[in-house]
A = this chain, B = another copy of it.
């Protein structure tokens, strides 16, 4: 039984948007099933049957198998579509994976973490680990350095590294990270938004 790809996600989550943007860029047919994290929609009995950990994004592949982890879903969709979005050669491919793992350990915890607590859970700044702000800026500085020299994170065109990193970088301001001092990042956000045909975040 072959069915359509299903992507469960909440548009407030950059992790969820990564999977949607990847599917859109690849021109895949899929059903987007919106679930609101903040109202408990990822904790219903119905959804816990699909993903017992109650997390989004969750993908149900056309054969019915379930896949989680935003970057793993994006990698799977891109590989199943013929390997687009991994750069031009083996070393660019390796660099794409380098950025994807780096995003999960050195960028997302601090930048998405502060944004979720400040903008969505409405926690006061004083309740957030003081290390998260400098660590998030260290991640942004690393990106700024690369993007001062290059239009995209890897090679000469869009890869999964850009899709994954842009998701939370473009809304970093909501986590208290002033992007004003990162001109190369801001130019890159515009470039990636244009390539993905997204509404510029400045207009949101």
Contacts and interface: CB of A to CB of B under 8 A. Distances in A.
Interface string A35-52: 000000000000000000
A65 interface: yes
A195 interface: no
B97 A53 contact: no
Interface residues of A, number: 30
Contacts of A80: 90
Given A61-B91, A94-B76, A71 B101 contact: yes
A13 interface: no
B98 A68 contact: yes
B142 A102 contact: no
A6 to B, nearest CB: 15
Contacts of A72: 94, 97-98, 100-101
B90 A67 contact: no
A60 to B, nearest CB: 12
A143 to B, nearest CB: 12
A109 interface: yes
Contact of A53 (B75, B94, B100, B142): B142
